[in-house]
Chains A and B, each alone.
Chain A
Amino acid sequence: MNYADAAQPLASEARRSFGLRAFRRLLRRPLAVIAVVIIVFVYATGLLAPAVAPYGFNEAEFGHGFAAPNVDHPLGTDRLGRDLLSRAMWSAQTTVIVSVAVVGTGGLLIGLSLGMLAGYAGGRTDNLVMRAGEILSSVPTILLVIIIRATLQDRWTDLFHNIEDLTHFPGLVSSGAPSIVLIFGALSIFSWFGMARLVRSQVLALRESAYILAARASGASVWRILFGHLLPNLTNLVIVVVTLSLGSAALAEIGLTFLGIGVQPPHPSFGTMIFEGSGLSNIRNHPQLMLVPAVVVGLLLLSFNLLGDALTDILSPRRR
């Protein structure tokens, strides 16, 4: 025990310097730095939307619809006279909340733990997890999310109406939270397998390594091995997967909202903005309606991919 404790600070020292080195290597890639800047900018804008957005997301000025960019509205207004810049900022908030929640539950909580469990336990547990994941991933996700949403939405909202009545907590349904929870619940169910499969294969390789055998031989508990010894060695992999899945979760939110089954209006989302801005007469006469959300979404997703790519290069030992 004493021996292990003494080794602890050394290991964390090495880890820190590795992280620092990786960070320095990241700084040497201009594209990756630009990607980080864009992601941080969009996330910060989204999180600070209540403070920085000049107008509320649903603040309509009647009679000022389809305004071209001007001093009051730097990016113009939409059909109902709502400020496009503010709408974009509030949409960023929706995207940030939903994608972090989906990746946090589906990728990290479920994916990481099931992957570690399957890899370390092996045998029947491994088989069960992997077969379940294979069945889930052999079905096109979007179709299943569509049917879950189409069939469960009303029941789900009713449930929340009842909760509202029972708890006298008004505004629960009108806050739009139930529909958001349903969608990311569904997305999480389908998004864990990618992470789980990668984590499992990494754990399989690590399980037989000398330091895990040593830990086991010295009587460390399963939890200690999993969280104290295996988890730190999975960090690189997890960082890469999380970066990439944040991008795809954002895309899923935007896409499903575009189809009308994601975040419900009046809550703003880039999906709604693209839907409202597309259509030929809008594209012809007011292209900014479509250009604003399209450019932001395009840049954000591109940044996630570029960063994910750069991180793969830097962090994965095989490519080094």
Chain B
Amino acid sequence: MPGLTGYIVRRLLLVPVVLFVVSVVVFALGRLTPGDYVEIQAGSRARPETIERIKEERGLNDPVYEQYARYMGDFLTGDLGKSVIYRGADVQEVIFPRLWITLQYNAVVLLLTFAIGIPVGTWAALKRGTWLDPLAIGTFLVFASVPVLVTVPLLQWLFAVKFGLLPSGGWEAHNYLGVKLGIFSRQIILPVIVLTLPGVAGIARYMRAQVLDVLDQDYVRTARAKGLKEFVVVNRHIVRNALLPIATIMGFELSGLIAGSIFLETLLGIPGIGLYTFEAIGSRDYDSIMAIVLVGTAAFLLANLLVDIAYGFIDPRIRLSGGPA
């Protein structure tokens, strides 16, 4: 498949381009911060000479492109700057443990979204024409329409306060074979419910449309005519063929998860990267904000790239080289 490798190379090349553009924008914006954050950090009683000395030390008097090169050089070698919120800590010491927490529950959410969305969508398509189809799709559409900002306090009120069933927030991690995992604690239930339900609608609708497409195909009719059991027809002939394009919708789900995590973690007090973002905005921790934006964007791009590549491998029919824009 020469087209496929060409496509992957093209996508791979796009990633650094986008990252470069974003990093330039982020850096330029960071340097536009008012009144020199050195002055803010040094305090109002600092003498002008002190401020000048700090600026000289940090190279803030150099030309901007040199500063940019230095910043990116440090960034790529793993030095993301100093955190203001966690005094003295380097940003990279704060950001990666938190990213790990966010990734854990998001992975669970993603798996569950597909695990629920695919059967629901298939089932709705098979029940086309009955009231069950719009009911199933409609129910999940309702969940999809109500934002995390609304569902979290509502569910906290219902489950944690009224019925006392679930912990009201926080994060609890235990060691499993030397890895700190929080996905087996009760704290994870609420966030997973809140993030999974909205995602299901997207997958289910997409799956439903795919199944409806496949349903009329000749090979499905043939399979039925052969006298195969309905279960086999659905699983082997319908679902498997309908599944092919579903990877495309992953990227969409991912961008929803990034935004959702910020609100979710802030409301529930989960010490992931979303809460970190919130704290960094509140205390104007510019090094942290810049690192979060860059790392977040890179993670997002990579995830999308993986999805694209996976899609290319799953479905050889896709025109990868010189496809429509």
Q: Could you tell me which A residues sit within 8 Å of B by CB distance?
A: 126-127, 130, 135, 138-144, 146-148, 150-152, 154-155, 158, 247, 251, 254-255, 258-261, 271, 274, 277-278, 280, 283-284, 287, 290-291, 294-295, 297-298, 301-302, 304-306, 309
Contact present for B35 and A143 (CB under 8 Å):
no
Q: Which residues of B contact A138 (CB under 8 A)?
A: 14, 18, 300-301, 304
Which of the residues A130, A158, A247 comes within 8 Å of B325, measured between beta carbons? A130
Could you list some 6 contacts between A and B, CB below 8 A?
Answer: A126-B325, A140-B296, A151-B33, A255-B147, A258-B149, A283-B157
Q: Which residues of B contact A258 (CB under 8 A)?
A: 149, 263, 266
Q: Does B106 contact A (CB under 8 A)?
A: no
Which of the residues A126, A130, A146 comes within 8 Å of B289, measured between beta carbons? A146
Q: B interface, by DSSP: helix, strand, loop or mixed?
A: helix
Among residues of B, the one whose C-beta sits closest to the C-beta of A204 is B324
Bound form: Cα–Cα A141–B169 in Å? 27
Contact present for A151 and B157 (CB under 8 Å):
no
Bound form: Cα–Cα A297–B152 in Å? 13
Among residues of A, the one whose C-beta sits closest to the C-beta of B205 is A309
Instruction: Spot the interface stretch: B179-187, B189-197, B254-262.
Output: B254-262
Q: A interface, by DSSP: helix, strand, loop or mixed?
A: helix
CB distance from B299 to the nearest CB of A (A): 9
Among residues of B, the one whose C-beta sits closest to the C-beta of A135 is B18
Q: Does B113 contact A (CB under 8 A)?
A: no
Q: Does B210 contact A (CB under 8 A)?
A: no
In the complex where A150-B281, A151-B29, A287-B157 touch, is A139 in contact with B297 (Cβ < 8 A)? yes
Contact present for B32 and A155 (CB under 8 Å):
yes
CB distance from B18 to the nearest CB of A (A): 5
Contact present for B258 and A143 (CB under 8 Å):
yes
Bound form: Cα–Cα A287–B161 in Å? 10
Contact present for A142 and B149 (CB under 8 Å):
no
CB distance from B38 to the nearest CB of A (A): 15
Q: Which residues of B contact A306 (CB under 8 A)?
A: 141, 145
In the complex where A143-B292, A258-B263 touch, is A151 in contact with B30 (Cβ < 8 A)? yes
In the complex where A280-B156, A284-B161 touch, is A142 in contact with B18 (Cβ < 8 A)? no
Bound form: Cα–Cα A138–B15 in Å? 9
Contact present for B146 and A140 (CB under 8 Å):
no
Among residues of B, the one whose C-beta sits closest to the C-beta of A308 is B145
In the complex where A135-B18, A287-B157, A298-B150 touch, is A154 in contact with B141 (Cβ < 8 A)? no
Leading 5 A-B pairs by shortest Cβ distance: A154-B34, A305-B145, A151-B29, A302-B145, A294-B150
Which of the residues A144, A152, A284, A295 comes within 8 Å of B293, measured between beta carbons? A144
New contact pairs (18) apart from A138-B304, A255-B263, CB-CB < 8 Å: A139-B297, A139-B300, A140-B296, A142-B258, A143-B258, A143-B297, A146-B289, A255-B149, A258-B263, A259-B262, A259-B278, A260-B282, A277-B153, A291-B157, A294-B149, A298-B154, A301-B147, A302-B142
Contact present for B35 and A154 (CB under 8 Å):
yes
Q: Does B22 contact A (CB under 8 A)?
A: yes
CB distance from A248 to the nearest CB of B (A): 10
Q: Which residues of B contact A135 (CB under 8 A)?
A: 17-18, 21
Contact present for A140 and B258 (CB under 8 Å):
yes
Q: Does B290 contact A (CB under 8 A)?
A: yes
Q: Which residues of B contact A247 (CB under 8 A)?
A: 145
Which of the residues B34, B141, B259, B286 comes within 8 Å of A158, measured between beta carbons? B34
Bound form: Cα–Cα A114–B175 in Å? 53
Contact present for B145 and A259 (CB under 8 Å):
no
Bound form: Cα–Cα A247–B160 in Å? 29
Q: Which residues of B contact A151 (CB under 8 A)?
A: 29-30, 32-33, 286
Q: Which residues of A contact B160 (CB under 8 A)?
A: 280, 283
CB distance from B160 to the nearest CB of A (A): 8
Q: Which residues of A contact B262 (CB under 8 A)?
A: 142, 259
Q: Which residues of B contact A154 (CB under 8 A)?
A: 33-35
Q: Does B277 contact A (CB under 8 A)?
A: yes
Bound form: Cα–Cα A298–B198 in Å? 13
Contact present for A283 and B156 (CB under 8 Å):
yes
In the complex where A142-B262, A146-B277 touch, is A294 in contact with B144 (Cβ < 8 A)? no
- The winner among B150, B152, B282 for most chain A CB atoms within 10 A is B150
Contact present for B153 and A278 (CB under 8 Å):
yes
In the complex where A138-B18, A143-B293 touch, is A301 in contact with B146 (Cβ < 8 A)? yes
Contact present for A139 and B18 (CB under 8 Å):
yes
Contact present for A297 and B150 (CB under 8 Å):
yes
Q: Does B236 contact A (CB under 8 A)?
A: no
Bound form: Cα–Cα A260–B17 in Å? 31
Tell me the B270-320 residues at the A interface (CB within 8 Å). Answer: 277-278, 281-282, 284, 286, 289-290, 292-293, 296-297, 300-301, 304
Q: Does B122 contact A (CB under 8 A)?
A: no
Contact present for B147 and A152 (CB under 8 Å):
no
- The winner among A126, A141, A155, A294 for most chain B CB atoms within 10 A is A294
Q: Which residues of A contact B290 (CB under 8 A)?
A: 147
Bound form: Cα–Cα A155–B150 in Å? 33
Among residues of A, the one whose C-beta sits closest to the C-beta of B144 is A305
Q: Does B168 contact A (CB under 8 A)?
A: yes
Q: Does B267 contact A (CB under 8 A)?
A: yes
Contact present for B146 and A147 (CB under 8 Å):
no
CB distance from A218 to the nearest CB of B (A): 31
Bound form: Cα–Cα A301–B144 in Å? 10
- The winner among A138, A142, A148, A294 for most chain B CB atoms within 10 A is A138
Bound form: Cα–Cα A150–B285 in Å? 9
Q: Which residues of A contact B223 (CB under 8 A)?
A: none
Q: Which residues of B contact A150 (CB under 8 A)?
A: 281, 284, 286, 289
Q: Does B166 contact A (CB under 8 A)?
A: no
